Amino acid sequence: MRRPAFQNPKRSSFWCEKEELDLAHALELNISAICRTALQAAIGKAIQQSPNVPEKTVQEYIALRKQEHEERDQQIKKLSANFQEKQEAERTAAAQQESISGAVSRVLKGGAMETAYRRLPEYDRWGDQIDYWDEVAASVSRVAGATVTAAQIQEVVRRGKRQ
């Protein structure tokens, strides 16, 4: 999570038991955020209990809190949208990969998959099989209805052999 942007930053420190601090670090707690939240709650409670606080100070404090909440809400919405976009892209990529795998299986049926495996670049010392992969890519592209590269086909063949 990103650091909050402060309008007038000021650093503070506090004392606590060593064990408590060690435990907080072990739990990966954001101590600064916890302290800020506790301080804000204490200020809010003190404002309610003290009639001597100037109205302008109270209004400025409330405006600052509202701005922080709005920024946090916008950040959450942005993170949520990014997460959903990423999930959709992963689903699309998985569907595309499944389509390519199916097309490769249809084109390389029978013993052709074994032949393709033996013609993978890692087994082709002199690069004699480059034309073979271009031909297979063209055939798979026709069957899949989309452009499929030789590298994508080779990856499907490698995975198919491992399974």
pLDDT of residue 19: 94
Start-to-end CA span in the chain (Å): 40
Q: Which of 1-5, 21-25, 60-64 has the lowest mean pLDDT?
A: 1-5
pLDDT of residue 2: 60
pLDDT of residue 76: 93
Q: Which of 3-12, 89-98, 103-112 has the lowest mean pLDDT?
A: 3-12
- In the chain, domain spans: 16-53, 54-162
Which residue's structure tokens are 């209004």? 59
Closest among 157, 114, 111, 107 to 136, alpha carbons compared: 107
| Residues contacting 113, CB < 8 A, separation 6+ | 105, 157, 160, 161
Could you give the CA distance from residue 20 to residue 26 in angstroms, rounded to a whole number? Answer: 10
pLDDT of residue 9: 80
Q: How confident is the model at residue 4 (pLDDT cuts 50, 70, 90)?
A: low
Could you give the CA distance from residue 90 to residue 81 in angstroms, rounded to a whole number? Answer: 14
What is the percent of the chain with per-residue pLDDT over 70, rounded to a whole number? 96
Q: What angle do CA 121, 133, 153 make, to 5 degrees?
A: 85
